[in-house]
């Protein structure tokens, strides 16, 4: 995959990209969260 | 070599913006809280960029990028760890609890948060001392990274570069406190993001696209030098041979040491206490993840791919082009492969990367001495000359960092960074995690964990882990042998031994001792 034969490497490459995207999605989903314990 | 006039103007503009933000920080700093935790009202975008820029230094880009150039893409696991553990777990799981407890206990530094949670001035003082003694090692490796690039790109003498970098950064940290540090960090982070994006796009386009660039690198596997192949090197797009010396260093020191160690970095944890609510932390994840990806992901991929470029253009591997010094691989690549105007931009990117990390380290070492050691441990909480001592502390630790930058051996950047991260993981992480997640953890458990983590980590470094033990020579001097244990043990990083020990001690001692009063726990955790 992606010109890399060793699955231990392309998996790391793929997981890095996916986790960065995951962070964006998480941030958007919780953008307007209200925490009842917090001061606003 | 970049055109010196363009570079001169660019650096001047950059410095003017830096000083403007530093001055803004100075104007806004009216109280101790402002100097220490930026008044607890920092915007999430500034938090994410500042955290990321402080986290990612020239160590990551130059040191670890160079490591990828020498040993290949196995280090991409660290990118995944940096994003998942260093951003997601850190902000969402640790960050929100840290922030809330910081407010409940009115703590302004990382050691103070832990010290107040366990009602122990000893913990605060000892943690402060540990930071003051060992953080200069990390700071000096960041200095070396920045100075090496200035040496290669600008043709400035290395020693002069170290001094220039230090004086400029020290000026705004000492005057503007954490507000200045975070705002300059955010500006520097933006610059880094743009610079690394250009580096990635340019490198891939230059080598014919993502897949063909990787493929060309895969095909270089047969060129691995014999000496490195014997150490476990199998090529630049495959993991080193399982259990080989290179494998152990990569997995235990770099991926686990730095990947997990980041959670207990005092200069990063203190940033969680600068925002006003948990939502800010969640919002910060959005920009934090992609930012880290663009920093370390790009640095490591490009570092590895530099081999393809150098083979194509000079018929040499990156390691040989750099004369065997892995810290010079990235500067050499950027200088030869990128157009002059981008070299100028990278100069700024790396200057920004070095300064943003240095500023937060300087600030943190200063508060460790001024606030944690002087005010809380020596003055028993009286304010005394806290801010002056903090500023003096910043100055002293800066001098030590500069001396280290002059004296540490070459090719040390990645290793010195890993040593510091490993030590903080063993000493602070079990105690810090217990402090914010485990109500039953006691003062005695925390002290035991702190001491066992610190000393077992230092013991392993000095007497067992071959890379440091041999270099230090203490074991040789006392026992007449380079390391006390032999075989695979000498390859296992201290973090794998010291952190589990520290966790074990924290749990056992806590369960054997009397828990803190319910009233105190309520105060710490809120209702």
How far apart (Å, rounded) are the C-alpha atoms in residues B385 and B84? 41
pLDDT of residue B214: 93
In order, the DSSP letters of B166-206 are HHHHHHHHHHHHHHHHHHHHHHHHHHHHHHHHHHHHHHHHH
The answer to whether the Cβ–Cβ distance between A26 and B217 falls below 8 Å is no
Q: Which pLDDT band holds residue B416 (cuts at 50, 70, 90)? A: confident
Tens digits of residue pLDDT in B243-281: 898 998 899 888 888 888 888 888 888 888 888 788 888
pLDDT tens sequence across B359-410 = 888 888 888 888 888 877 777 767 677 778 888 888 888 888 889 888 877 6
- Gap between the Cα atoms of B467 and B418, Å rounded: 12
Measured torsion, CA atoms of residues B85, B89, B90, B91, in degrees rounded to the nearest 10: 140
* Within a domain: B437: no
pLDDT tens digit sequence for A7-33: 999 999 999 999 999 999 998 988 887
Reduced to 3 DSSP states, what percent helix, strand and coil does chain B have, rounded to the nearest 5? 80, 0, 20
| The pLDDT of residue A40 is above 50 | no
Torsion of CA B295, B59, B494, B89, to 10 degrees: -30
Which residues of chain A from 1 to 40 reach within 8 Å of chain B, CB to CB?
2-6, 8-9, 12-13, 15-17, 19-24, 26-28, 30-35, 37-40
Q: Decide if pLDDT at B351 tops 50.
A: yes
B502-512 residues labelled b (16+ CB within 10 A) or e (exposed): bbebbbebbee
Cα(B263)–Cα(B184) distance, rounded to whole angstroms?
A: 23
* ipTM of predicted assembly, 2 dp: 0.90
Q: Which two tokens mark B59?
A: 């160590």
* Residue among B411, B90, B479 at smallest CA distance from B281: B90
Predicted pLDDT of residue B442? 94
> Is the pLDDT score of B340 beyond 90?
no
Report the alpha-carbon distance of residue B319 to residue B6 in Å, rounded: 30
User: pLDDT at position A20, please?
Assistant: 94
The reply to whether B526 falls in a domain is no
Assess whether pLDDT exceeds 50 at residue B165. Answer: yes
Residue A38 CA from chain centroid, whole number: 26
Length of chain A: 40
- The answer to whether residue B522 is domain-embedded is no
Q: Is residue B502 part of a domain?
A: no
pLDDT tens digits for range B88-124: 999 889 998 999 999 899 888 899 999 999 999 999 9
d(CA B518, CA B525) in angstroms, rounded, equals 11
Displacement of CA B163 from its chain's centroid (Å)? 21
pLDDT tier at B179, thresholds 50, 70, 90: confident
Tell me how crowded residue B9 is: count the other CB atoms within 10 A of its CB.
Answer: 12
- Give the separation between CA B111 and CA B269, rounded to whole angstroms: 10
Taking residue B182's Cβ as centre, other Cβ atoms within 10 Å add up to 29
| Residues B386 and B374 sit within 8 Å (Cβ to Cβ) | yes
pLDDT score for B280: 82
CATH code assigned at B61? 1.20.1730.10
Nearest to B354 by CA among B150, B83, B514, B178: B150
Average pLDDT, chain B: 87
Residues B505-520: pLDDT tens digits? 999 999 999 998 999 9
Q: What is the 3-state secondary structure (H, E, C) of B424-464?
A: HHHHHHHHHHHHHHCCCCCHHHHHHHHHHHHHHHHHHHHHC
Whether the per-residue pLDDT at B1 is higher than 60: the answer is: no
What pLDDT sits at residue B289?
Answer: 92
pLDDT of residue A38: 53
Gyration radius of chain A over CA positions = 17
CA-nearest of B369, B495, B366, B361 to B428 is B495
- For A2, which of B79, B214, B279 is closest by C-beta distance? B214
Q: Which burial class, exposed, middle or buried, applies to B480 when counting CB atoms under 10 A from its CB (0-12, 13-18, 19+)?
A: exposed
Size of interface A-B (CB pairs under 8 A): 118
Residue of B nearest to A26 (CA): B286
The pLDDT score that the predictor gives to residue A36 is 56
Q: Is B150 inside any structural domain? A: yes
| Percent of chain B whose predicted confidence (pLDDT) is above 70 | 97
Question: Would you say B402 and B143 are in contact if contact means Cβ atoms under 8 Å apart?
Answer: yes
Residues 6+ apart with CB under 8 A from B360: B50, B54, B181, B185, B267, B268
Domain count, chain B: 1
pLDDT at B352 (0 to 100): 83
Asked if B489 is an interface residue toward chain A (Cβ–Cβ < 8 A), one would say no
The answer to the question of residue B137 being in a domain is: yes
What's the angle, vertex CA B60, arms to CA B57 and CA B61, rounded to 5?
90
Which residues on B lie below 8 Å from A24 (Cβ)?
286, 289-290
Tell me which residue range forms the domain holding B334.
4-426
pLDDT of B315 > 50? The answer is yes
B3: pLDDT strictly greater than 70: no
Which of B238, B285, B289 lies at the smallest CB-CB distance from A9?
A: B238
Asked if A6 lies within 8 A of B88 by C-beta distance, the reply is no
Contact B74 A37 (CB under 8 A): no
Alpha-carbon torsion (B488, B492, B494, B496), positive or negative: negative
- For residue A29, what is the DSSP state? H
Q: Is B521 inside a domain boundary?
A: no
Give the C-alpha separation, B337 to B459, whole Å. Answer: 44
Q: Is B473 left (phi over 0), alpha (psi -120 to 50) or beta?
A: left
Would you place residue B501 in the very low, low, confident or very high pLDDT band (cuts 50, 70, 90)? Answer: very high
Closest residue of B to A31, CA-based?
A: B283
């Amino acid at each position: 995959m992606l010109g890399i034969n060793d699955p231990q490497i392309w998996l790391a490459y793929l997981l890095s990209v996916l986790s960065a995207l995951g962070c964006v999605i998480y941030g958007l989903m919780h953008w307007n969260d209200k925490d009842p314990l917090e001061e606003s | 070599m970049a055109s010196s006039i363009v570079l001169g103007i660019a650096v001047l503009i950059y410095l003017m913006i830096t000083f403007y933000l530093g001055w803004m920080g100075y104007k806004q700093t009216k109280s101790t809280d402002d100097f220490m935790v930026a008044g607890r009202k920092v915007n999430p975008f500034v938090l994410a960029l500042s955290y990321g820029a402080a986290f990612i230094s020239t160590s990551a880009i130059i040191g670890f990028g160079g490591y990828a150039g020498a040993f290949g893409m196995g280090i991409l696991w660290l990118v995944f760890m940096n994003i998942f553990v260093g951003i997601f777990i850190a902000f969402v799981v640790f960050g929100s609890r840290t922030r809330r407890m910081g407010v409940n206990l009115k703590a302004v530094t990382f050691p103070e948060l832990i010290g107040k949670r366990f009602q122990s001035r000893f913990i605060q003082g000892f943690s402060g001392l540990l930071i003051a003694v060992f953080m200069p090692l990390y700071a000096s490796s960041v200095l070396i990274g920045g100075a090496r690039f200035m040496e290669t790109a600008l043709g400035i003498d290395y020693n002069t570069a170290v001094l220039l970098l230090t004086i400029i950064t020290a000026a705004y940290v000492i005057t503007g406190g954490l507000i200045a540090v975070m705002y300059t960090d955010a500006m520097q982070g933006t610059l880094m993001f743009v610079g690394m994006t250009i580096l990635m796009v340019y490198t891939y386009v230059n080598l014919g696209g993502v897949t063909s660039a990787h493929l060309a690198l895969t095909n270089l596997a047969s060129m691995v030098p014999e000496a490195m192949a014997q150490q476990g090197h199998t090529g630049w797009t495959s993991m080193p041979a399982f259990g080989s010396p290179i494998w152990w260093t990569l997995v235990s020191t770099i991926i686990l040491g730095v990947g997990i160690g980041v959670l207990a970095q005092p200069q990063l944890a203190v940033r969680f206490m600068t925002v006003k609510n948990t939502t800010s932390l969640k919002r910060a994840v959005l920009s934090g993840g992609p930012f880290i990806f663009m920093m370390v992901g790009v640095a490591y991929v490009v570092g590895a791919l530099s081999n393809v470029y150098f083979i194509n253009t000079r018929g040499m591997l990156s390691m040989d082009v750099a004369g065997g010094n892995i810290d010079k691989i990235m500067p050499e690549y950027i200088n030869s492969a990128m157009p002059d105007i981008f070299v100028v931009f990278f100069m700024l990117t790396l200057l920004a990367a070095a300064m943003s990390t240095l500023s937060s380290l300087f600030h943190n070492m200063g508060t460790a001495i001024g606030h944690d050691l002087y005010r809380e441990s020596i003055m028993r909480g009286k304010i005394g000359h806290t801010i002056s001592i903090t500023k003096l502390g910043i100055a002293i630790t800066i001098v030590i960092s500069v001396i280290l930058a002059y004296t540490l051996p070459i090719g040390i950047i990645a290793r010195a960074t890993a040593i510091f991260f490993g030590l903080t993981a063993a000493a602070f992480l079990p105690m810090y995690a217990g402090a914010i997640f485990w109500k039953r953890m006691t003062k005695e458990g925390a002290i035991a964990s702190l001491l066992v983590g610190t000393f077992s980590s230092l013991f392993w470094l000095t007497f067992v882990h071959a890379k440091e033990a041999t270099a230090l020579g203490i074991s040789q001097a006392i026992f007449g042998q380079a390391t006390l244990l032999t075989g695979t043990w000498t390859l296992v990083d201290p973090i794998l031994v010291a952190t589990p020990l520290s966790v074990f001690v924290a749990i056992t001692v806590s369960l054997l001792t009397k828990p803190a009063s319910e009233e105190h726990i309520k105060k710490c955790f809120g209702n």
